[in-house]
Structures are given as structure tokens and as C-alpha cells.
Structure 1
Amino acid sequence: MDRDEPKSLQPTWTFFRQWLKNPLGTAAISPSSRQLARQMMAELPRGARRVIELGGGTGVFTQALLDHGIARQDLLVLELNEELHQHLQRHFPQVEVVCADARDLRELAAARGFGPEAPADAVISGLGLLSMPKATQQAILGAAFDVMQPQGRFVQFTYGPANPVAREVLEALDLISRRGSFTWWNVPPATVYTYTRRMSKALAPRSMR
């Protein structure tokens, strides 16, 4: 992109360029909307302090988490795409951003202070779970719940009305899913889902700001 291009267009162009390179590996043609980000933040557990983000993309959710009050040192972001990873590092230099596969979250989180003594309160996901094999879904969600406290919450968005996590995966991990808000103001329109352990007490979503 030319340096004279408005900064507001840079994330969109960065994201679109990755979609052109790998349409199947990039779930959308543009970054998530701010409305979707607000809806994702509304699903965080009350008082959430330590958060892990999977699939940081261009940083829409990363910025929303910081604006929500999550301290930079209490946020860990994973992004598998190297160009998007570098984009995140440039825009969020004080946040721990790792270029890695979400299936390796257990080891990555433990090495960065999210071990049993200081687990995450929530995991925010921008990954395209709907298009992933069941085994990959199970590996990612299993790792996510292993690095969260017992009442931790996994917050995921998906395109369309269907639950992005297979029923077999939910049963294998003993998870409960709840369909949250839906927004037309995203490209494509998106639905938010939350997942908790069956043993935990259901948590009401936070009211939207």
C-alpha cells in the first residue's frame, strides 16, 4: 500500500491481501467490524482480567480488548499468518503477540505466564472453526479450556446461523454452547457463540456498553 493511503484503510488492505493469497485459509474478505467487536466484548465474564486471543488478524479485537480494560501484560495474542503477525507487532508493540498454531496453546500460554497459577479468564477467537475438521476443533478448544480457570469462557464468532463447533466436539469436551448476538453490520454478517464447561455455573453475558 502507498504511504499516502489513509491509515484507516491499511488493516482492510492487509487483510484482503491475505485473503487473495489464501481464500480458504482466511475466513472473510475484510476485518471484523467494530460492532462485532463490541458484541464479543459483551460476552466476556464479568471482571475478566486475563485474556487470550486466537487469530488476532488485523487487531480489531485486540484493540477492543485493550479499550475494554484488559491490561497489555494480561493479554496474549496468537496469529498464524506471518504478515498479519508482523502487522499486529507493529501496531501493538507492548502486547505479547505470537506467530503460532492455536493447537499449541497449552505450551505457549504456560511459557508466557498463563500457567495453572495464573490462568486466563477467557479466550476470544477469530478463527474459522466452522471450516476446520472436528479433530482440529477439539484440539483447539481442549487447549483453550486447559489454560482457563474453571469458569472460563470461550467466545467465538461465526458467519451464518450454525454453531461452528461440531456437536461431537462439544460432547467430547463436555461443553455447553450458547448462541449470542447477531450483527448484519459485518462482512459477512456474523453470530457470536460462547462456550463454557458443563460443570460450571452458567454466566450471564455482560450488558453492552
Structure 2
Amino acid sequence: MQHRAKPAGGGNGSGPSATLTFFRQWLKNPLSVAALSPSGKQLARLMVRELPDTAQRVVELGGGTGVFTQAMLDSGIKPEHLLVVELNEELHKFLQNRFPDVGVVCGDARELATLIEQQPAFAGAGPVDAVVSGLGLLSMPRTLQRDILRAAFAVMPAEGRMIQFTYGPVSPVPRETLDELGLTVRRGGFAWWNIPPASVFVFQRSRSKPIPPVRRGG
């Protein structure tokens, strides 16, 4: 069963309301907002198809204006089983208005375990199945990358995966950091029509057994 969220301000997440909100935040702080405009639907499909078929409880880091959030809801993830973390206060409010049935928190991804425990629908329910990230890892220092990855994998089981996009052709996380954290990475797809074009990468623990993605819609 698909769950569709209500758009905010008369928009659908990809119209003027969402784009203007996103661009305004980029103007305020271009280093913390990874792009000039929200991600496109092609990239959202590539991200969501990397979720394992058994994924039920998912955390999204850097929700932006909700392009990935909507795609996950459309794929069958229940609103009450989705937690969106957004550090930018204005984008956080935008997401809350657009997705009233989804848990949306304003917080730091490095404090993910604490943020999860503060949510009634997630607290005490065990590890989450996957983390979907719209954070700009490519522009972050390695220490921050490491802390975010460590926080993400601390709330997932051994077979958990983090799905990340980047505007470069290679992984945004260097090999040295992956080796330090015991992680592997594979490329999941390339969104040619995104502005700018983007690659999808999937991070997993080195000792975990790969689970092939099955959400191949689109």
C-alpha cells in the first residue's frame, strides 16, 4: 500500500515553493546546502531502489525539501516508520508542514542514536533497516564524514546499508576512511537527468552479506 503525503504551500515538493525554499537556504549558507536546487525524481528512484526489500524502518539524513522522503513513502515505507533528520531550521519546518505524518526532527546526524531514542515510534524498537542520506559528504572534512558514518552504522544491524548520493563520479568517502570504519562501497547508479548529474553509492559493513536491491521501479 502506498502512502502519499500532503504537499506544503500548494506545491508538490518539486514546484516553486520547494525550489525557492531550497535556493534561499543555499544563498544563506552554500557550504551546508549541497546543491542549488532539490534533487530530481530520477535520482530519487535510484536512491529508493537500493533499499532492501525487507526494509521497514528507515532514517533519512538531510531531508531537504522531501524529494527522497516522498519517493520512500510512494515505495511503501509507512510514514510512522520513517524518521527524517534535517539540521537546517527552515527546511525542517518545511518538511514538517509537507509531511505531517512523518517524524521530522531538527538535529545533527552525528547524534543520530539520541535523536532516534527521542522518537516514540523508534525508541526501543531496535535497529533501523537502512539510512538514506542527502548530506553533502563530498564537501565535508574527513573527520565529519567519519563521525556521520559511524553514527549511521551504530543504529543499523550488521547487514544495514547507507545509501548516499554525490555529484562526483567516485565515492565521496575516501578509501582510508572506509577501511578505518570497516566499510565497503559500491556504485548503485547514475542520474543523468539530475541537475547536476549525480551518482548513487551504497555503503555496507565489510563483514555483512550483500543483499541485492529489489525495488527496481522506474
Asked if Structure 1 and Structure 2 have the same fold, meaning a TM-score greater than 0.5 normalized by the shorter chain, the answer is yes
Structure 1 unaligned regions, length at least 5: none
8 Å contact kept, 2:53–2:215:
no
Identify which of 114, 120, 126 aligns with 2:128.
Answer: 120
Structure 2 unaligned regions, length at least 5: 1-8
What amino acid maps onto 1:157 in structure 2? F
Identify which of 25, 37, 61 aligns with 2:32.
Answer: 25
Decide which moves more: 135-144 or 109-118: 109-118
Aligned position for 1:196: 204
Aligned position for 2:172: 164
Decide which moves more: 197-206 or 132-141: 197-206
Aligned position for 1:143: 151
- Give 3-state SS (helix, strand or coil) of 1:191's partner: strand
- Give 3-state SS (helix, strand or coil) of 2:37's partner: coil
- Give 3-state SS (helix, strand or coil) of 1:120's partner: coil
Equivalent pairs counted in the alignment come to: 205
Identify which of 195, 201, 205 aligns with 1:187.
Answer: 195
8 Å contact kept, 2:51–2:215:
no
Identify which of 41, 45, 50 aligns with 2:57.
Answer: 50
Aligned position for 2:84: 77
Whole-Å separation in 2 of the counterparts to 1:147 and 1:208: 26
Identity of aligned residues (%): 58
RMSD: 1.5
Whole-Å separation in 1 of the counterparts to 2:122 and 2:146: 20
Aligned position for 2:105: 98
Whole-Å separation in 1 of the counterparts to 2:113 and 2:179: 21
1:30-51 C-alpha deviation (Å, 9 max, x unpaired): 0000110000011011221000
8 Å contact kept, 1:121–1:148:
yes
1:28 Cα offset (Å): 0.5
Displacement over 4 Å in runs of 4+: none
